[in-house]
Chains A and B, each alone.
Chain A
Amino acid sequence: MNKEEFITQLKRSISILDDQEQQYFVEEYTQHIDMKMSQGMSEEDAVKEMGPVEELSKEILESYHVKINALEDQKAKSVDYKKFFGKIKGQADKIYGKMAAGCKKIASGIKKFLTALVNLCQKPFKRDQNENAAGEASESAGSPDSTGALTGAGNPAGSGTVSTERKQKGFFGGIGRLIRGFFSGIKEFVKECFKGMIWLAGKCFYIALWCMLIMWNAFCIGAGIIGIFFTAVFVFFVGLFLVMLTQGYPTAGFTLCALGASVSAGSLVAGCFILTRWKITKDEKPEGGEVNV
């Protein structure tokens, strides 16, 4: 490593510091290396004597009480997001690729079908000359005309029947390919979509579970708060009726009722808060026993 590289690397790894502070280290290290070199040491050795850049930058940052891992943590988080979206993109690309392949198959099917159709239509007009050549072409693209011509020349008598059969084969083969291409395209498309959905559903499931948990807790807390209100009201009535009882009014029954109501409302409150859950275990099921206060 030469001086330039050393300084650039160092600057990059302490870029979190003030320009002024960075400047200090750049100046001091440059000067130090220059002095070493002026005493006859090679550039390489002078840089080596400074120690590895990672260690130096770590020590520099430590001397400012910088939390060294903070930057790396942030990087790791952003990478995670990238991975997530990358995966979605990958899945979309795959679906697109399959769709494209399906379309290609369909297109080739259509092409074969049309070629065969054209040949079939041409039949009455070009009976004698080009039948074989056209038939060959529809069967296997790129076969040279000369082959067709040779075959045609070889059996001039039975050429008509042979080529008709071939054309019909090409025609039905074209239809078959078209249909097969169409269905295999659809199949692949659906398969990939399904795979993507399963993957997404896996992620969504966890989020949904959390949402459910939050709703459940909201419900429990809401019921708990209402319960607290009723408990307070009933306790108030207990007091009221007790006072009236001591005054000689016949409110013993009311007192007992209010007492029972306040106790049951109180237990409702306790129950609500015991039923709140705040954790999801690894097998993605709500865990019991975690009590919120």
Chain B
Amino acid sequence: MNAQFKKGVLELIVLESVKNKDMYGYELVEEVSKVIDVNEGTIYPLLRRLTNEQYFETYLVESSEGPPRKYYHLTAKGVLYSNALYKDWDAFQAKVNEFFRGVEV
């Protein structure tokens, strides 16, 4: 898939994934990988940025295997942002699809 498409939509996918359920990094990477194929490392800069912008908050949960896991939780601010972003995406893809349908006909 086009790298620019991926980059644009990655943020929304991450936000929506965490909205459903609090997740830790590795889990989130697996979730995202179901939809799009990205370098696994690229999720973390995004997570850090969204955390620094207070869309996410993190907490540690002890794990039976290895070190404690850092879970990401969507804050109220994050929910608003995610919803706004989703609306944008929806309007955008609807418009683009409409355009393409028009071109076909």
Nearest neighbor of A34 in chain B, beta-carbon distance: B66
Q: Mark A34-53, 1 if CB is under 8 A from B, else 0.
A: 11101000000000011110
Cβ of A28: which chain B residues have Cβ within 8 Å of it? 25, 44, 47, 70
Contact across chains for A50 and B65 when beta carbons are under 8 A apart? no
Contact across chains for A31 and B66 when beta carbons are under 8 A apart? yes
Compute how far the CA of A56 lies from the CA of B40 in the bound complex, rounded to whole angstroms: 10
Contact across chains for B40 and A51 when beta carbons are under 8 A apart? yes
| Size of the chain A interface, CB-CB below 8 angstroms | 23
Q: Mark B7-48, 1 if CB is under 8 A from A, else 0.
A: 000000000000000000110010000000001111011111
Nearest neighbor of A58 in chain B, beta-carbon distance: B45
B102 at the interface (CB under 8 A from A): no
Cβ of A31: which chain B residues have Cβ within 8 Å of it? 25-26, 66-67, 69
Nearest neighbor of B51 in chain A, beta-carbon distance: A24
Cβ of A60: which chain B residues have Cβ within 8 Å of it? 44-45, 48
B49 at the interface (CB under 8 A from A): yes
A29 CB contact (under 8 Å) in B44, B65, B66, B69: B44
A59 CB contact (under 8 Å) in B26, B29, B45, B70: B45
Compute how far the CA of A35 lies from the CA of B66 in the bound complex, rounded to whole angstroms: 9
Q: A25-B44, A28-B44, A31-B26 are in contact. Are A56 and B65 (CB under 8 A)?
A: no
Q: Describe B's contact surface by its main secondary structure.
A: helix
Contact across chains for A59 and B42 when beta carbons are under 8 A apart? yes
Q: A49-B39, A51-B39 are in contact. Are A32 and B48 (CB under 8 A)?
A: no
Contact across chains for B67 and A29 when beta carbons are under 8 A apart? no
Contact across chains for B66 and A56 when beta carbons are under 8 A apart? no
Q: A29-B44, A35-B66, A60-B45 are in contact. Are A55 and B26 (CB under 8 A)?
A: no
Q: A31-B26, A32-B25, A60-B45 are in contact. Are A50 and B66 (CB under 8 A)?
A: no
Q: A32-B25, A35-B26 are in contact. Are A24 and B48 (CB under 8 A)?
A: yes
Compute how far the CA of A49 lies from the CA of B43 in the bound complex, rounded to whole angstroms: 12
Cβ of A50: which chain B residues have Cβ within 8 Å of it? 39-41
B26 CB contact (under 8 Å) in A32, A52, A63: A32
Compute how far the CA of A59 lies from the CA of B47 in the bound complex, rounded to whole angstroms: 12
Cβ of A56: which chain B residues have Cβ within 8 Å of it? 39, 41-42, 45
Compute how far the CA of A56 lies from the CA of B47 in the bound complex, rounded to whole angstroms: 13
Q: A31-B25, A31-B26, A32-B26 are in contact. Are A51 and B42 (CB under 8 A)?
A: yes
Binding site for A on B (CB under 8 A): 25-26, 29, 39-42, 44-49, 65-67, 69-70
9 A-B pairs whose Cβ atoms sit less than 8 Å apart in the complex: A28-B47, A28-B70, A32-B41, A35-B66, A49-B39, A50-B39, A60-B45, A63-B45, A63-B46
Binding site for B on A (CB under 8 A): 21, 24-25, 27-29, 31-32, 34-36, 38, 49-52, 55-56, 59-60, 62-64
